[in-house]
Chains A and B, each alone.
Chain A
Amino acid sequence: MALFFAVPLAIVCAYSFLTRGDYGGVEQPWTVENFSRLADPLYLAILWRSLWIAALSTAFCALLGFPLALFISRAGRRKNLYLQLVLLPFWTSFLVRTYAWLFILRDTGFVNTVLIRLHFIAAPLQLLYNDGAVLLGLVYNFLPFFVLPMYATLERLDPALLEAAADLGARPFAILRRVILPVSAPGFVAGAVLVFIPCLGAYLTPDLLGGGKSVMLGNLVQNQFTTARDWPFGSAASLVLMLASALLLAALMRSRIARELM
C-alpha cells in the first residue's frame, strides 16, 4: 500500500521543488519557483475555471439529484430497482460514457442531425468544446455520487414526521422547506463533497468534451508531464490538486456527517 501510494506521491513532492532539466527530467537546485508560477494569471485562470466548473457541476448534481433521491426514498418496494437504475450507467466504462456525449454533441452528432432534419436549424450548432459541454459531461458522470449519500439521508427520515406536519396543517412546500430540507443537510454536504472532489480533478471529460478550449487543472498537469515536459511545474500543480482533494475528504470524514452516513 505504502509502496504503491505513498512513495510515488513523495517523489512528486520532491519533484515540485526541483528545477526543470534540459531534456524534460529534473535537476537541482531546489526551488519554490514552481509554486509561485502557479500564481501567474494564465494558471490562475485555469485554477479559477476548475473551481467554477466543479462548483457548478456540484450545484446541478444537487438540483437533479435531490428530487431523484427523494423520489427513490419514497418509492416503497421499487426502491432497489430505482437505485440499480441510478448505479447501472455508473458501472459502465467512464470512457464510453464520455464518448457517448461526444457522439451526441458533435457537429455531425445526434442532436445536430435531429435538429437539422426537423429544419429547426440550417447549420450545425457548436455544442462541443466549451465550458457547457464539460459541465454537462461532469454532471452526467458524477450524478450518482450525489444521489447515493442523499438517498442514505432521506431513507432515515421518519415518514411519521411528514404526516405530523401535514396533520398540523403544513402545506407541501412548507413541509419540504421546514422538515425535509433541514433533515437532509448531511446528505447535501456529503454529496456535494463527493461530487466536487472528482470534478475538480477531472481530466478526461474536459479533454474530450472541452477540446483545448476548456482547460482544467487535470489537463494542466497532464500537459506539463507530456507535451510541455516541465515535470517540476506539473508536480507542483498536481500537489495542489491532491492537497485540495485530501483536505476536503478529511473535513468530511472528521465531521459528524461521516459517522452518520458511513
Chain B
Amino acid sequence: MRQKALGIYAAFALAFLHAPLLILILFSFNASRFTVWEGFSLHWYRAAIDDPQLAEGLINSVIIAVVASLLSTVIGTMAAYGIWRRAAPVLSGTLYLSLVTPEIVTGVSLLALFQSAFRFLRLQLGLYTVVIAHVAFSIAYVAIVISARLRNYDRSLEEAAMDLGATEWHAFSRVTLPALAPAIAAAGLLALVVSFDDYVITSLVAGVDSETLPMVIYAMARRGVSPVVNAVSALIVVAFGAIILISQKLQSE
C-alpha cells in the first residue's frame, strides 16, 4: 500500500519533469497556429528550415560550438591532468567555483574583461568574443569529466613507462592519453552541448553580427506565439538527447 502510494507520487514527479517538453513537441506537429489540435502537419518544420534568421543563428551557433568545444576540450584536459599530477587544490577549487557561479555573473565579468581590453586594442564584440566566453565556461565541464576518469586511473602505468625510458611527454601521449580517449570524447560532446545551448552569457558578449540560435529563439519566444519555436525546440531536444546519450556511453566505457 505504502509502496504503491510512493510509486504514484514518483510517477507524478516524473510526469512533471517530462510533460512540458512532450506537450511542446506534440504541438510542433499541429496544423493550427493556435494551441488547438487540428491535425498532424510538418508545416512548422518547413517554416523553421526556411527562416533566414534561424538559419543564420544556426550557422553562428555551430561555428561557435565546434571551435569553443575543441579549444575547451584541450585546455580542460590539460587542467584536469595538471590537477591530478600535482594535486592542486586551488585549481580544483576554482573549477567547482566556476561551475556554481551564476551565469549572469560570468557573463558580466567577461563583458567587463572584454571592454577593458578594448580600451587598449581597437576591437569590438563579435563572434570571437562569444567563442572566448564559451571556452571560459565550458572548461570546467570538461575538466570534471576527465577528473572523474583520472580518479580511477592507475598512476603506476605512467611511472612504469618512464622507468622503461619514456620521457614525461611520451608517457603522457602514448600511455595516459589513449586511456583517456573515451572520456575526452565524452567531455568534448558535453562541451559542444553546453556551448550550443548557452543564452545568458552569449547575449551579453555577442556583437551585433553574431546572433546565435538561442538568441534568435529567445527573441521569437518574447515576440509571441509561434509554433516555429516549438519545431526548432523539438529538433534541439532530439539532437541534444542523442549527443548526450553518446557522451554517457563513452563515459561508462
Contacts and interface: CB of A to CB of B under 8 A. Distances in A.
Interface of A: 1-2, 4-9, 11-12, 15, 25, 64-65, 67-68, 70-72, 74, 82, 85-86, 88-89, 91-97, 99-104, 106, 108-110, 113, 117, 140, 143-144, 172, 197-198, 200-204, 208, 218, 221-222, 225-226, 231, 234-235, 238, 241-242, 245-246, 249, 253
B125 interface: no
Contacts of B3: 74
Contacts of A226: 204
Interface of B: 2-3, 6-7, 9-10, 13-14, 16-18, 20-21, 23-24, 27, 34-36, 75, 79, 91, 93-98, 100-113, 115-116, 132, 135-136, 139, 193, 197, 199-200, 204, 214, 217-218, 221-222, 225, 229-230, 233, 236-237, 240-241, 244
29 contacts: A6-B94, A8-B113, A8-B136, A11-B109, A12-B112, A67-B13, A68-B10, A70-B6, A71-B10, A82-B14, A86-B14, A91-B240, A91-B241, A92-B240, A93-B197, A94-B199, A96-B21, A96-B233, A97-B21, A99-B229, A103-B27, A104-B24, A108-B34, A143-B13, A201-B102, A201-B104, A204-B199, A208-B218, A222-B108
Contacts of A218: 102, 104
* Best-surrounded residue of B112, B197, B217, B244 (most CB of chain A within 10 A): B112
A100 B21 contact: yes
A85 B18 contact: yes
B35 A249 contact: no
A72 B197 CA distance: 29
Given A67-B13, A108-B34, A221-B105, 7 more contacts: A1-B75, A86-B14, A95-B214, A103-B23, A110-B23, A226-B204, A241-B105
B13 to A, nearest CB: 4
A243 B84 CA distance: 27
Contacts of B36: 113, 117
Contacts of A231: 112
A104 B233 contact: no
Contact of A238 (B94, B109, B139): B109
Contact of B27 (A67, A68, A88, A110): A110
Given A96-B24, A104-B20, A218-B102, A7 B7 contact: no
B233 A8 contact: no
B238 to A, nearest CB: 9
B101 A102 contact: no
B17 A86 contact: yes
Contacts of B110: 8
Contacts of B105: 12, 201, 221, 238, 241-242
Contact of A140 (B14, B17, B97, B98): B17
Contacts of A9: 109
A interface, by DSSP: helix, strand, loop or mixed? Answer: helix
B interface, by DSSP: helix, strand, loop or mixed? Answer: helix
A222 B104 contact: yes
A203 B197 contact: no
Contact of B139 (A4, A65, A86, A203): A4
B88 to A, nearest CB: 10
A60 to B, nearest CB: 10
Nearest to B22: A100
Given A7-B113, A68-B13, A109 B221 contact: no
Contacts of B139: 1, 4
Contacts of B95: 1
A25 B118 CA distance: 12
Contacts of B13: 64-65, 67-68, 143
Given A72-B10, A221-B104, A1 B91 contact: yes
A108 B225 contact: yes
A253 B113 contact: no
A15 B113 CA distance: 11
B86 to A, nearest CB: 13
